[in-house]
Chain A
Amino acid sequence: MVDKAVLQDLSPRFTIGVLARKTGCNIETIRYYEKAGLLPHPARSNGGHRLYGIGHLKRLSFVMKARALGFSLSEVRDLLRLVDERDRPCGEVHDIAAAHLVEVRSKLANLRAMESVLDEMVVSCETKRSPECPLIERMFDEERAL
């Protein structure tokens, strides 16, 4: 279970470089997430450097994992909001995840259609001995849509 107290622990412990190393996230990306409102503004050192807490670390891992699963930035923002307001019903999280799953499946179907046509094109290139390039011909072909 997500520990809210840990998520809210933003007391300054490490620099952006350390946070980047610990999470494997790019420094630029960390700054971008902060600007986009996905990460809370960190405290600053006397010299003005950003100092992050455990909460930032946890939140950043969450964002990265969600991004790796293909959630859009705005979906991640919604999910984080739900994390922060954990008294909300689970149904809302389920809706976001379910909508995303539908999207992923439709992308998959699309890619599979592309794959089969491309594969067919490459095979026809290998088997046909015609003066015309079957790949090019196929893409000029009016009749056969994807």
Chain B
Amino acid sequence: MNSWRRLQRAQLARHTGCNLETIRYYEKIGMLPDPPRTSAGYRVYDEGHVSRLRFILRARQLGFSLEEVRGLLALVDGGAHACAEVKERTEIHLAAIRTRIRDLKRIESVLAATAAQCSGEVVPACPVLDALAS
């Protein structure tokens, strides 16, 4: 933490690749703690903010909902005993992702099969529309 440069919000955004608006939003909903301010009123962020924001971004990339991320952060803040619970939540999330993959694969195959019948000719015999209407 010692060597860490204190960052302003725009720098935090650049540093993490996170949108300014998004940082503001995470602060508003309490996922990022309010940063201290300089005497001139500028927010200053430290390493703790950076790694917490990274955590949020990573979890969001992995498809965790905001509520799930909030729950994970609470476990992180709660200390080391939560490992089993973190694992359980990750497994639940993984199962949900797998369900979505299965659904999308089904959608993909229906779409691909239907589009493959497309002749590019003039309707009325459009297989895509007919498949949807049948």
Listed in ascending order, the chain A residues whose CB lies under 8 Å from chain B are: 1-2, 58, 61-62, 65-66, 68-70, 79, 82-83, 86-91, 93-94, 97-98, 100-101, 104-105, 107-108, 111-112, 114-115, 117-119, 121-122, 125-126, 131-133, 135-136, 138-142, 145-146
Contact = CB atoms under 8 A, between A and B. Distances in A.
Contact of B121 (A90, A108, A140): A90
Contacts of B120: 89-91, 94
A1 B125 contact: yes
B66 interface: no
A89 B122 CA distance: 4
B94 A122 contact: yes
B97 A90 contact: no
A52 B57 CA distance: 47
Given A118-B62, A140-B58, A142-B54, 9 more contacts: A68-B107, A89-B120, A112-B101, A122-B94, A125-B83, A133-B80, A136-B75, A139-B58, A145-B61
B107 A69 contact: yes
A4 B49 CA distance: 60
Contacts of A126: 87
B94 A118 contact: yes
Contacts of A97: 111, 114-115, 118, 128
Contacts of A87: 122-123
